[in-house]
Amino acid sequence: MPKNMPKIEWVGTPNHRAGRNGRKPLAIVDHITAGSYPGCLSWMQNPASQASTHYLVLRDGRILQLVKDEDTAWHAGAVNKPSWSLYDGSNPNAYTLGIEHEGTDGELTGAQYQSTLWLHKQLMARYPVITVDDQRIIGHYRIDSVNRPNCPGPKFPWAQLFKDLKGENDMLDNLVIYADGDTGAALILSQKLGCPMVHKGSADKYQAAKKHWVGVQGTNDAGNIYYAGANRAETARKALE
């Protein structure tokens, strides 16, 4: 994770429905605004538009949140000749997260790409069912191939995004959270990153498998990486950075 992580700014919109009818997000749908900020935001905050998204990533790298994850945004409800295997015949807004990107053809700025990459990672960590898979991370065109064939656009960096997300996963595959003192912080990290957690004195099998491990509230005396904070939240946050 970068040390200077992006911040998510809450802006809100009335264009949403509370809750998800008992459903949970199982995929991310990427979009392009086909317009510039602040007009694109104003449109999604205008009740007459009947449109919204969970997140809007601007060209300067700012991330705006319009709808809470646990609520239903109106970003991909119209279905027309879909090519998405997880579409089950019901409104896809109920089980997807929408990310809009400011732009026209899908080409992102460097700052915008880094922010959306970070955001994808955050959402994947929050919802483990969302994996690096072309059925779990899709473009709007996969749901409406007739009216949205260019959303998020021909220049959207799919290959780079999947490569970078997969690279992060490859690194995490060899990471173990080692509880050396503060089990609470280790548990937070384990759940956040989806890595196994082991207690002090029971890490031999992981070391034998040449796994890398992060210890919390310990001392670096075995060539592994340790992070320590004043409390479990600070320790976990420092290790995530």
- CA distances to 33, 100, 110, 231 from 76, rounded to whole Å, are 13, 11, 26, 41
Catalytic: which of 9, 70, 100, 107? 100
Rounded Cα distance between 77 and 144, Å, is 9
User: Tokens in use for 78?
Assistant: 């119209």
Segment holding 115, helix H or strand E? helix 110-126
Task: Give the contacts of 224 (CB within 8 A, at least 6 positions apart).
Answer: 178, 212, 213, 214, 215
Sign of CA dihedral 210, 120, 198, 182: positive
Q: Is 100 an active-site residue?
A: yes
Q: What letters, b where the CB count within 10 A reaches 16 and e where it falls short, cover 9-36?
A: eeeebebbeeebeebebbbbbbbbbbee
Residues that are catalytic: 100
